[in-house]
Structure 1
Amino acid sequence: MNGFSYVWQGFSLMWRPGIRRFVLIPLLINIVLFGLGMWAGVHYAHQWLDGLLPGWLEWLNWILIPLLFIGLMLVAYFSFTIIANFIAAPFNALLAQKLEMLLTGQPTPEDDTSLWQLTLKTVAAEWRKFRYFLAYAIPLLLISFVPGLNLLAPFLWFAFSAWMMTLQYVDAPAGNHLLEFEAQKSWLKTIPATSLAFGTAMTGMTMVPVLNFFALPVGVCGATALWVERRPRLTHDPVKR
């Protein structure tokens, strides 16, 4: 339940005085991209799915189309989440930095970094996550087209999306503490239930129209709260834990 609770905390924290102005740009980016994703899903998804099966297998439509539609929406929404995070990465890092300072009263190691340096660092981190995503997404996409196995595809996509959502959002606060991507994965694996519950809640949120507009700032704020409460010991921490 802790993992789910961090999403609720994210909702509350994003409206804190002193934090709201750092939420604005990630929120606008998310609204534009998810608006485009919802429009594309409504206009094109059903057309593609209706013509997927040959005539003699149309009786399977009532089983396959709902599952494939869910899988397709997961792929689409998660793809838009990756794009949104890629564009908003510097602003996400700044939001996480300011929120952590508010929660702990302590500056992060990136406090004196210029916006340009922060942009370069966060874009490089997003590229590493994107390569990791492709390494698993391509096999999953192929499974989606294999008869029989494609029945499992939506469930595999959901589990993978939950893990990637956690990695995506935790990178904002963890990256501010110079924790590299591999180290972030290792840390999250020490709290697997919390990590997957947080990612599951965020994945579900991205699939709910209108609510998904707020997913980006909520995810960053929730992940920052998770980091503050559960983070590993770091050699550069000002206070020993």
Structure 2
Amino acid sequence: MLDAFTALARGTRLAYGPGLRRYVFVPIAINLLVYAAMLWYVLAHFGGWLEGWMAMVPAWLAWLEWLIWPLFVVSLVLVVFFTFTLVTHLIAAPFYGFLAEKVEVAATGRVPLDDRGLAKTAVDALGRELVKLAYILPRMALLFAISWIPVVNLLAPLLWALFSAWMMAITYLDYPMDNNKVSFADMRRRLAARWWPTLTYGGGVTLITWIPLANLFLLPGAVAGGVLLWDRHYRHLRDLSPR
């Protein structure tokens, strides 16, 4: 049985192996620039955001300030994390789609059903990334709103953690599924049908993304690991779309 963390370890070795590593360095370089710009912006505005949010806390909850303040910090960090993740994935998607295609050939010997070449893979992967954003952003906005509601926001860190695992699974397991002509709706149903490998893999990728700078070098391994999990856990599932 291939578990999520074994897939991530094997995937990282594959991504940086001969013949594949050249597909990972361009998105890494671009994302380093995005990383630096977003870090500067957050540090420059963090104090003002914190003061504004604390001013919204009603007087009768002032005694909970010792708890509300760290919850705000955690929620803000999670929001920044999601924003950075969405931006970097949008940039890297064309490269990661092609990487997933090459990993599938190298690891399984199978050619994806939609062998499109670099240019078409890049365009299609970018379009698929926009579909993911249309799915993720409304749910992210709802969680963001919950994070600003006093008392209710006590649940926000847990909800963000669960959502992050699901979002990461969708993001990285979608690359091989898109290459194999699995629709976005059917992809989500397959992930739900195998919820344990889905959430453990998504949780593992989430942990990777929290390693500053190193995450940019480890995420290509998540793409390759997603290909291995696709082949082991999801490929054999029938089309789960409603008839």
TM over 0.5: yes
Deviation above 6 Å: which 4+ runs of structure 1?
none
What do residues 78-120 of structure 1 show as CA deviations (whole Å, max 9, x unaligned)? 2222122212212111100111111012221232x24332233
| Residue pairs, 1:102-141, within 5 angstroms | 102-111=106-115, 113-141=116-144
Which residue type is aligned with residue 91 of structure 2? Answer: I
Change in CA separation of 1:65 and 1:208 when aligned onto 2, cut-off 3 Å:
farther
Aligned equivalents of 1:124, 1:218: Cα separation in 2: 22
Residue aligned with 1:179, SS: coil
| Superposed displacement of residue 59, structure 1 | 5.7
Aligned equivalents of 2:204, 2:118: Cα separation in 1: 31
Aligned equivalents of 1:116, 1:210: Cα separation in 2: 28
Residue aligned with 1:233, SS: coil
Which runs of 5 or more structure 2 residues have no equivalent in the other structure?
239-243
| Superposed displacement of residue 184, structure 1 | 0.7
What TM-score comes out, normalization by structure 1 length? 0.87
Aligned equivalents of 2:106, 2:117: Cα separation in 1: 20
2:96 to 92, 111, 119: 92
| Superposed displacement of residue 181, structure 1 | 0.6
| Superposed displacement of residue 70, structure 1 | 1.9
Percent same amino acid at aligned positions?
35
What TM-score comes out, normalization by structure 2 length? 0.86
Aligned equivalents of 1:129, 1:7: Cα separation in 2: 22
Residue aligned with 1:53, SS: helix
- 2:42 counterpart of 1:41: yes
Aligned position for 1:239: none
Aligned position for 2:70: 66
| Residue pairs, 1:188-207, within 5 angstroms | 188-207=191-210
43-52 or 94-103, larger mean C-alpha shift: 43-52
What do residues 151-170 of structure 1 show as CA deviations (whole Å, max 9, x unaligned)? 11121111111101110011
Aligned position for 1:184: 187
Aligned position for 1:168: 171
Change in CA separation of 1:197 and 1:234 when aligned onto 2, cut-off 3 Å:
closer
Check whether the contact 1:85–1:216 (CA below 8 A) recurs between aligned residues: no
Check whether the contact 1:73–1:207 (CA below 8 A) recurs between aligned residues: no
222-231 or 38-47, larger mean C-alpha shift: 38-47
- 2:86 counterpart of 1:82: yes
Aligned position for 1:148: 151
Change in CA separation of 1:178 and 1:197 when aligned onto 2, cut-off 3 Å:
same
Aligned pairs, number? 234
Which residue type is aligned with residue 144 of structure 1? Answer: S
Aligned equivalents of 1:18, 1:98: Cα separation in 2: 9
Aligned position for 2:21: 20
Aligned equivalents of 1:74, 1:108: Cα separation in 2: 35
